[in-house]
Amino acid sequence: MLLAVTPAQIIVIVVVVLLVIALFLCFRIVPQATEFVIEFLGKYQTTWKAGLHVKIPVLQRVAKKVTMKEQVLDSRPQPVITKDNVTISVDSVVYFRVFDSKLYAYGAVDPLNALENLSATTLRNLVGALDLDETLTSRDTINEKLAEILDHATDRWGIKVIRVELKNIMPPEEIRTAMEKQLKAERERRETLLQAEGHQQAVITRAEGDKRAMILEAEGERDARIARAEGEAKALLLKQQAEADAIRYLREAAPDGVVLELKRYEALVKVSDGQAAKIIVPTDMTQLVKTSVAANEVTGLGDVTKQGEKPVPPVKPDVCCDDEN
């Protein structure tokens, strides 16, 4: 049997269900690295951090949910005129994070759009003060200046600019073609210079090698001459020493007159050396020679002319050959 439900009971049930739903909606959970900006009757009241919070229905509302993570703003490529009137296309990337949720919620209508436009205008000013070559070679300087300017300007928006990077710098097509030709010519010049330096170094090395070889050869010849001279001097010294020893031994032996005369004859024979020569012999020496036949035979004093050639023996006839003839 079904129970009869009165309209009053239905109203009570509906009210209870609505109260439960309203009570459930009053509990809000804020995720990690996120903050909720809370308004009370349309006025900023507080900022909820990560965790469980209770919100008063109707009176309080979440004005803005702000993430505290680092974010990236990739700006679109934009034309920029350099100091030397060259139009180039430049795009940048801005890395930032929110450090104050209240300033971020109430500082600007659209903080991200404001940051993008500020980055574009500041980049035009910086690049416009540089010529094309300086722009291409001064990326780090432009990044540092742009990050400093943006960070100072976005403080009232609750934004902290961490760094700024230029992605692409695209000159016009004709400028790129000219730059490529210039780069190719520069590489060819460096190649030619390196080849010339290598050839020069090879010539210098070869010349130094030849010089060293000549020096070593001269030093070798010098050492050889010194060695020969030392050998000759030593031989001469030994010869003189031997002669001195012979004279000393002769003096110690106390030879008589006959031995001395024989030594004189030997000296005369060495002087004549077997050639036709005239030797004048003193009278007393001649008398001594006549009285000493043995001395004449030993010295060969009378034989002072050059000996004739030995006669060639007659050729004996070949018996077999003569018979055949």
Write the pLDDT tens digit of every residue in 208-220.
999 999 999 898 8
Domain boundaries, the chain: 7-67, 71-171, 177-229, 256-293
Predicted pLDDT of residue 293 = 45
* Paired tokens of 53: 């919070």
**What value does the mean pLDDT take over residues 134-150?**
90
Write the pLDDT tens digit of every residue in 278-321.
555 555 555 554 555 444 454 454 444 444 445 555 555 554 44
Helix segments in the chain, DSSP class H: 7-26, 101-106, 111-128, 132-137, 139-153, 173-253, 257-272, 283-291, 293-299, 319-324
Question: 250 CB contacts (<8 Å, ≥6 apart)?
Answer: none
Predicted pLDDT of residue 103 = 92
Q: Which fold has domain 71-171?
A: Tetrahydropterin Synthase; Chain A (3.30.479)
Cα dist. 150→67, 93, 146, 166, 259 in Å?
20, 12, 6, 14, 128
High-pLDDT (> 70) share of the chain, %: 76
Write the pLDDT tens digit of every residue in 175-202.
878 878 888 898 889 989 999 999 999 9
Ramachandran angles phi, psi of 165, nearest 5°: -130, 135
- Check residues 12 and 317 and name the one with the higher pLDDT: 12
Which pTM value belongs to this model?
A: 0.54
Predicted pLDDT of residue 322 = 47
Ramachandran angles phi, psi of 306, nearest 5°: -70, 130
Chain Cα centroid distance, residue 267: 80
Predicted pLDDT of residue 324 = 45
Predicted pLDDT of residue 242 = 86
**What value does the mean pLDDT take over residues 131-136?**
86
Point out the least confidently predicted range of 115-129, 190-204, 262-276, 310-324: 310-324
* Paired tokens of 71: 């974010």
Predicted pLDDT of residue 275 = 55
Predicted pLDDT of residue 317 = 52
Q: Which run of H or E residues covers position 47? A: strand 43-48
CB-based contact 261:295 (threshold 8 Å) = yes
Rounded to the nearest integer, the mean pLDDT of the chain is 80
CB-based contact 93:162 (threshold 8 Å) = no
Write the pLDDT tens digit of every residue in 236-266.
888 888 888 877 777 777 666 666 666 666 6
* Paired tokens of 318: 């070949």
284 three-state secondary structure = helix
CB-based contact 258:285 (threshold 8 Å) = no
157 three-state secondary structure = helix
**Rounded to an integer, what distance in angstroms lies between the CA atom of residue 283 and that of residue 202?**
83
**What value does the mean pLDDT take over residues 35-51?**
92
CB-based contact 92:166 (threshold 8 Å) = yes
Q: Is 29 left (phi over 0), alpha (psi -120 to 50) or beta?
A: beta
Q: Identify the band that residue 269 occupies on the pLDDT scale cut at 50, 70 and 90.
A: low
**What value does the mean pLDDT take over residues 64-88?**
90
Predicted pLDDT of residue 151 = 93
